[in-house]
Amino acid sequence: MIGLGYGIAALVGLPLFGDGGHYFVMVAMDGAPLISQGRVGAALLQVPALLAWRLTDDLLLLRHAFAFGYVLIPWLSLCACWWLVRARAPWLLLFALLSLLALQINFSAVSELLASLALAWPLALALWCHPDRDGTWAYGLVLAPLLVLLHPLGFLVAWVLALSALAVAYRGSAHRALRWLAAWFGLAGLVRLGWTLVGSTSYERGRLQPESATHYLLPDSSAQLALLALVALLGLLLMLGLWRARSPAVRRWLAPVLLGLGWFLPLLALLIGAEFLVGTGVKLKAALSVVLGLGLLVLASLACWLEPGPTWAAPGVPPAMAVRGALPARALTGLIAAVSAAILILVLARAGAWWTATRALINLTIDTEATCLRYAANTPYGLQWPWMVIIDDWVVPLNALVFRADPALGPIALLVGGDGCEGIAATGMVHFNSWLARPFADLDARFGPLRHPPGP
């Protein structure tokens, strides 16, 4: 069900929101990975698009390869989490689902920080459910350096995984070797922290300014803030309830309370989705959701650590099964359904809002008689409608090249920022903004046919 939603989001090109549009246009033009802000690990996330670039010149197929390459990360992460916990501790899947739900208020699909968190969840659960498997070790050895390369805040994810591995090592004497894996992640976190302190860019340092930090941290909608608060409450109640699973009092209230609160999630998702469709609360990334996702990862580990079950002395012993009495299968299934429904609603709402805006953008560049449209705060008029907020940002001139009418219908007009239209004929260069310019001939060859601006 969630996979279907992500598939639809990829087909309509939702991963091209914001920075994603810039990433895709550069990959489509150059056939090389775009490394932004020194985040070298992002090249791995662009491999599907790079492979497609070598196999086809079809722009739509290339866009689909790029989009599916990014949406597969959270979906495959969730599938891996389910596979790891399905037999031993299915209730752990709830923590991963709640984390994924919290991240649905973010429109960025190319965020290396979100990818880091998605990649961390399977290892966090494998450490508790399959600490003796070679695959757990192999994945951990690969993931630690990848976290170093992905994002300046990757040290936080690395240190949470280090603490989880250390907790498993001391929870069961048979898994003491995991201390070395904990040390590996601890070292990776130190390296990433050092790199962040020494090599941060001006853009990244700008996020430390109070006003910028507040904007970066908080969502733009009260409904989104309420959703994050409810997710946090459910995570805490789940952890505390499972910890005290043998208490008769807990057995009486845990399942009905979790289910009662859980079914408010789809209702909030419907409200937030309606806001998205009219251009409210649309934001590249609200870092508070990432903090919450990381906190849920910690809560999942705490639930396993505190769980009063059988000994961990023997290899392969799962987290305690006593929780099944406190959270029976019917309640667990209902809660998983509620969280999954909320995720699907938000994925489809974001995809629907994006599809609406891209259709209007297509009409904007084909219906005009102009050869080049000036993009500014209040122009062109077609971008001023509330439902165009989702696409009306600095990257919209690039997305206008990608989301274009069928070439058989004729050439489209360029959409260029500032006074960029005026010098195209004289210089042959299209200046989208102060730092991004490309030859008109190259753009016409890749995204054309384009209308040729008249000479001076």
CA distance 342 to 265: 6
pLDDT tens over the chain, length 456 residues: 899 999 999 999 999 998 999 999 999 999 988 888 778 888 889 999 999 999 998 999 999 999 999 999 999 999 999 999 988 888 899 999 999 999 999 999 999 999 999 999 999 999 988 888 889 999 999 999 999 999 899 999 999 999 999 988 887 655 678 899 999 999 999 999 998 888 777 776 776 777 777 878 889 899 999 999 999 999 999 888 877 767 777 777 888 888 999 999 999 999 999 999 999 999 988 889 999 999 999 999 888 887 654 433 344 444 444 344 457 778 889 999 999 999 999 999 999 999 999 999 999 999 988 888 888 888 888 888 888 989 988 899 999 999 998 888 899 999 988 777 888 878 889 888 778 889 999 999 999 899 987 655
- Backbone region of residue 279 per phi and psi (left: phi > 0; alpha: psi in -120 to 50; beta: other values): left
The pLDDT score that the predictor gives to residue 326 is 56
Q: What does DSSP say about strands 414-417 and 429-433: parallel, antiparallel, or unpaired?
A: unpaired
Query: DSSP string spanning 184-230?
Result: HHHHHHHHHHHHHHHH--HHHHHTTSHHHHHHHHS-S-HHHHHHHHH
| Whole-number pLDDT of residue 449 | 92
Q: How many CB atoms lie within 10 A of CB 143?
A: 22
The predicted structure's pLDDT at residue 418: 76
Query: 196: closest CA among 205, 187, 206?
Result: 205
CA distance 389 to 385: 7
Residues in Cβ contact with 448 at an 8 Å cutoff, skipping those fewer than 6 apart: 407, 411
The Cα-based distances of 398 to 28, 169, 276, 370 in angstroms read 11, 50, 22, 18
Single-letter code of the amino acid located at 316? G
**CA 64 – CA 67 distance, rounded (Å):** 5
Give domain limits for the chain.
Answer: 2-350, 368-447
CB 204: neighbour CB atoms within 10 A?
15
- Verdict on whether the full-model pTM lies above 0.95: no
Please give the single-letter amino acid code of residue 236. Answer: L
How far, in Å, CA of 450 to CA of 440, rounded? 9
End-to-end CA distance of the chain: 55
**Residue type at position 49:** A
Rounded-to-10 torsion of CA 69, 20, 443, 382: 130
pLDDT at position 130 is 87
